[in-house]
Amino acid sequence: MSTTDSVDSNSAIKRSSDTTSQDSIAQNFTESSPENGEIQSVEDGEDALEQLRVLLLGNGISHLENQMGNMQGSLNKVEHVLFDSQELLDRLVPIGVELISREISESRDEMCDVLAPIIDRLIYERGKEDLESMGEAISLALPSAIQAQIESSPETLARVLGPEISAAIRTQMDLKHGAIAEAIAAEMGEAIQRQIELDRDVMVDALYPIIGGTINKYLQEVINDINEKVSDSLSPEGIKRKVRARMQGVSEAELILRESSRFSARAAFLIHKESGLVIAEAQSEDAESLESDMLAGMLTAIRSFAADCVIADDGGSELNEIEYGSSRILLEVAGYCYVAVIASGEVPKVYLHKLRNTFGSLVQNYRKEISEFEGDLGTVPEDVTTRLSWLIEQGSSKEKKNSDDKESFPVVTWALGGIGVAIVGLFGFFSYQNYRVNQLETAAIESVAQDPTLGLYNLTAALDGDRMVMRGRVPSDNLRILAEHRMTTAVGAIDDGIAVDNQVRAVNVPPNPTAVAAEVHRTIQLFNQREGVNLDPAYRLRYDPASDTTQGEVTVNGSVGAVPVSEVRSALATIPGVDQVVTNLEPIMPKIGTRLYFSVGSANVVTIDRQVKLTPISNLLKRSPQVRLKIIGYSPSDETGGGQGLALERSRLVRQDLIERGIAPNRLEAEGRVGVPEDVTATSPDWAGRSVAFQAIP
Amino acid sequence: MAKVSKKICLVGDFGVGKTSLIRRFVDRQFDDRYLSTVGVKISRKLVELDPSLPDIATSEVQLLIWDLEGRNKFKAIVPSYLQGARGAILVADISRPGTLRSLEEHLDQFCTINPKSKVMVALNKADLLNEGLPIDTSSLKAVDDHSQVVKRYFTSAKTGDQVDDLFVRLTYQMLRS
């Protein structure tokens, strides 16, 4: 079909190019005509030639020309088709498939060689374009591909997939919860079993923490139970238990343990000793029914085995009990039969007594029937079964209580009655005591709790005999004393026989550093207001390796003036949070500009000077006790009658005056100099040199 | 009607097929793997009886079958396991003459403990007879003549041949005694 189509379209193109080629030929003729018209003679000759040609060939030539024209047209068409790619494509597509398939069938290997280098690229590109259809295409082959790979080299596949398996499982776990578990579950038991076979110890080690934990948990529950019982030891239940313990002659602990693992009898069997056949049985309705015949047989076999192999030496010994976990089988043996009670929990002694009594009377009453028992239950009296049932009832936890009370009724009644009276009396006494204790303790605690400075601290008070013991912590000693005072007052108001035992401790509460710094600053400000004082404090927290604590340290720089350094130090040291004070102070002494002047050759202090000048000085000295005073007497070298002696006399007299005013002599130093004070110059009046000057010294 | 139970024991050397006989009778199964019985194993089987028989008072009996660990040269049967049995099946392996010879010893032990009981003798693995195994029963004379021995059977736990007869016959005998 496709071949036919292509032929048709070829001829169509041929036809259209026919017309084009004819036009171009006509044009050629028109263009060449003027050249032809120039030489007439030649034309004439040509005409003759033409005529000759017509004569010889007829119209054949022109026909040939037409044919050539047509061929030219066809060539043009082919050229067009070859150079127009779209056109070429349109033509090649229909036959392309056939070409390729023919190529594949004829030369398969060459085709492979050609396609091989790009086939991966092809797949990749295609995959990028349409992943889904590519996936669909490959998916068909995938299973068999994997299958083939598994068969040919399983190790390679394992190596490839190995690292991703765990991730894949995890992903699946996220996607569908429980699916993996479901898949593995079936094999789990088998796997564990296999592992146990391979290496038992590893399995034991692996499971140990869990099993240990389970046991721990169980024990914890029992211990909790016991704890509860111990803690309610003063409750009616607890007192009852104490009485019961006394009466049963067991320790209270044992009784508690029994209560924690409550005894209950599940089944009782009367078994023929030799054959192991069941003579009579009774089973609790609460529990699942036991296979009595098999159980009796096996028990008998175990008994026999134990009798023959384990305790053969001592003919009288019998197996009394078989324990398994918290359950046990109690065995009581007589001549021809034995009774087996299957029970759980600790067996109360009372129950053992009942069991023995019942069994004893059974054996006594029905010796003949039991010894002649041949496996026919019809020969067993009904009473035997009834008594076994009674044993089960006695062993069930519900019934046990009632029967206990019933049996020991008179003694318990009297004991409880007596105890009851005592309890009522004690109760009254204790209630009053309790009330009084409560009242005192409440008052004591409230007294401190309501105090604004103490309310912050959690102080407790507990009455111990006639002492009110006060405990807690406060940040300072004065708060401790205050608390004691408050409590003493409050307690004394109720009962003045109660003494307060102050066990409150004053502890060093680390103060807020900002508050401490502010307080330091405020204190220093007070000092700075004094004359000659200019202090600059710095507060910081410092780790002290010696005491292994943080210490607040204040460093003070500047001049302390006349104020004693110790005063600054002690003032700072009283601030809570300041543990250490470092001072770096220069004591700047007050400048005393006062001078006394004297007449020539005289050492007498003028009266007015005594009042006006020496009084302030003496006041200054009184105000600043740390300041000492140097009194320097001058006598100019040209003074008539002057000299060292006069200079000293002047200062000595002033000193004497100050001593008389109450200044300690050791604070006053007198000195005489021949000459004038430094500030007195040659231009100064000559009296300025006859003087006494003062200098404050530390 | 009250339930009647009887204890019977299977006695014989190790590996004669005591457990297999019981398994065939109780579970209707056979397995030719050999599993040694340790100590004792007890099985139970209810045997229905023909009520038309005049001397049988009950319509069914529960057999408690004690499968005892086979005796070997290191270990004797625990005598107390045999106590209280109303019947016994002595088992021997026809392919092992030694097991036939020790039947007498087993019989003596059992009958000393249970002088009123009935005893059946099972010569087991009878299927091997079809394969042309010769058998010498001359050593069984004393056993056959014993007053408590009821009957001797050729049994095969493998094919089930005579197994039911063996147990049921013993049951009837126990009830009649």
pLDDT in tens, A606-625: 888 888 888 888 888 888 88
Q: Has this prediction a pTM greater than 0.80?
A: no
pLDDT at B148 (0 to 100): 93
Could you tell me the pLDDT band of residue A412, with boundaries at 50, 70 and 90?
Answer: low
Enumerate the residues of chain A whose CB falls inside 8 A of the CB of residue B61.
Answer: 375
Strands A264-272 and A337-344: antiparallel
- Judge whether residue B109 has pLDDT over 70: yes
Residue-wise pLDDT tens digits, A518-530: 888 888 888 888 8
Cα separation, A494 vs A492, whole angstroms:
5
Q: Does B38 touch chain A (CB under 8 A)?
A: no
Choose among B4, B61, B64: nearest Cβ to A297. Answer: B64
- Judge whether residue A20 has pLDDT over 70: no
Query: Helix H segments across A540-592?
Result: 565-573
Indicate yes or no: CB of B7 within 8 angstroms of CB of A277.
yes
Indicate yes or no: CB of A304 within 8 angstroms of CB of B5.
no
DSSP state of A251: -
Q: Does A318 touch chain B (CB under 8 A)?
A: no
Residues 6+ apart with CB under 8 A from A241: A229, A233, A252, A255, A256, A259
Indicate yes or no: CB of B80 within 8 angstroms of CB of A293.
no
Choose among A293, A304, A307: nearest Cβ to B5. Answer: A293
Enumerate the residues of chain B whose CB falls inside 8 A of the CB of residue A304.
Answer: 78, 80-81, 83
Choose among B2, B44, B80: nearest Cβ to A293. Answer: B44
CA distance A272 to chain B (A): 8
Choose among A275, A293, A377: nearest Cβ to B2. Answer: A377
Dihedrals phi, psi of B34, to nearest 5 degrees: -95, 120
Interface-testing mutation among A302, A310, A374, with chain B (most B C-beta atoms within 10 A): A374
User: H or E segment at A154?
Assistant: helix A154-175
Indicate yes or no: CB of B64 within 8 angstroms of CB of A276.
yes
Q: Phi-psi category of A465—alpha, beta or left, where left has phi over 0 and alpha has psi -120 to 50?
A: left
ipTM of the complex model:
0.86
Structure-token pair, residue A86: 């779209």
Q: Does B110 touch chain A (CB under 8 A)?
A: no
Enumerate the residues of chain B whose CB falls inside 8 A of the CB of residue A276.
Answer: 7, 42, 64, 84
pLDDT at A462 (0 to 100): 86
- Judge whether residue A22 has pLDDT over 60: no
Indicate yes or no: CB of B84 within 8 angstroms of CB of A276.
yes
Largest CA distance in chain A: 187
Q: How many CA atoms lie within 13 A of A554 on its CB side?
A: 29
Which regions of chain B does DSSP assign to beta strands (E)?
5-12, 40-48, 60-68, 87-93, 118-124, 149-154
- Judge whether residue A538 has pLDDT over 50: yes
**Chain B residues 88-107 with a CB less than 8 Å from chain A:** none
Which regions of A220-276 does DSSP assign to beta strands (E)?
264-272
Choose among B4, B61, B81: nearest Cβ to A301. Answer: B81
pLDDT at B168 (0 to 100): 94
- Amino acid at residue number A631: I
Across the A/B interface, how many CB contacts are shorter than 8 Å? 75
CA distance B98 to chain A (A): 27
Give the other-Cβ count within 10 Å of A239's Cβ: 15
Indicate yes or no: CB of B78 within 8 angstroms of CB of A309.
yes
Choose among B3, B80, B84: nearest Cβ to A377. Answer: B3
Indicate yes or no: CB of B79 within 8 angstroms of CB of A308.
yes
Enumerate the residues of chain A whose CB falls inside 8 A of the CB of residue B3.
Answer: 377
| Angle between helices A60-83 and A2-37 in degrees, nearest 10 | 120
More confident of the two residues A68 and A46: A68
Rg of chain A over all Cα atoms, to the nearest angstrom: 65
Query: In this predicted structure, which of A49-58, A250-259, A381-390, A489-498 has the lowest mean pLDDT?
Result: A250-259
Q: Over pLDDT 70: what percentage of chain A?
A: 86
Residue-wise pLDDT tens digits, A639-681: 888 888 999 999 999 999 999 988 999 999 999 999 888 888 8
Indicate yes or no: CB of A378 within 8 angstroms of CB of B1.
yes
Enumerate the residues of chain B whose CB falls inside 8 A of the CB of residue A307.
Answer: 80
Choose among A276, A307, A308: nearest Cβ to B7. Answer: A276
Cα separation, A551 vs A565, whole angstroms:
21
Rg of chain B over all Cα atoms, to the nearest angstrom: 15
Q: Does A312 touch chain B (CB under 8 A)?
A: no
pLDDT at B93 (0 to 100): 93
Residue A18 pairs in a beta bridge with none
Indicate yes or no: CB of A275 within 8 angstroms of CB of B84.
yes
Average pLDDT of chain B? 88
**Chain A residues 511-530 with a CB less than 8 Å from chain B:** none
pLDDT at A30 (0 to 100): 45
Indicate yes or no: CB of A297 within 8 angstroms of CB of B7.
yes
Could you tell me the pLDDT band of residue B6, with boundaries at 50, 70 and 90?
Answer: very high
Indicate yes or no: CB of B42 within 8 angstroms of CB of A374.
no
Q: How many Å from the N-terminal Cα to the C-terminal Cα in chain B?
A: 20
Residue-wise pLDDT tens digits, A71-119: 999 998 888 877 887 878 887 777 877 888 888 888 888 888 888 888 8
Q: Does A273 touch chain B (CB under 8 A)?
A: yes
Enumerate the residues of chain B whose CB falls inside 8 A of the CB of residue A298.
Answer: 40, 42
Indicate yes or no: CB of A377 within 8 angstroms of CB of B4.
yes
A10 burial via Cβ count (<10 Å: 0-12, 13-18, 19+):
middle
* A451-481 exposure pattern, b = at least 16 Cβ within 10 A, e = fewer: beebeebebebebeeeebbbebebbeeebbe
How many residues does the structure list for chain B? 177
Residues 6+ apart with CB under 8 A from B63: B5, B6, B8, B44, B45, B46, B47, B167, B171
CA distance A304 to chain B (A): 6
- The highest-confidence range among A1-10, A384-393, A471-480, A590-599, by mean pLDDT, is A384-393
Q: Does B118 touch chain A (CB under 8 A)?
A: no
Mean predicted confidence (pLDDT) in A183-189: 83
Residues 6+ apart with CB under 8 A from A286: A266, A396
pLDDT at A485 (0 to 100): 87
Could you tell me the pLDDT band of residue A634, with boundaries at 50, 70 and 90?
Answer: very high
Q: Phi-psi category of A600—alpha, beta or left, where left has phi over 0 and alpha has psi -120 to 50?
A: beta
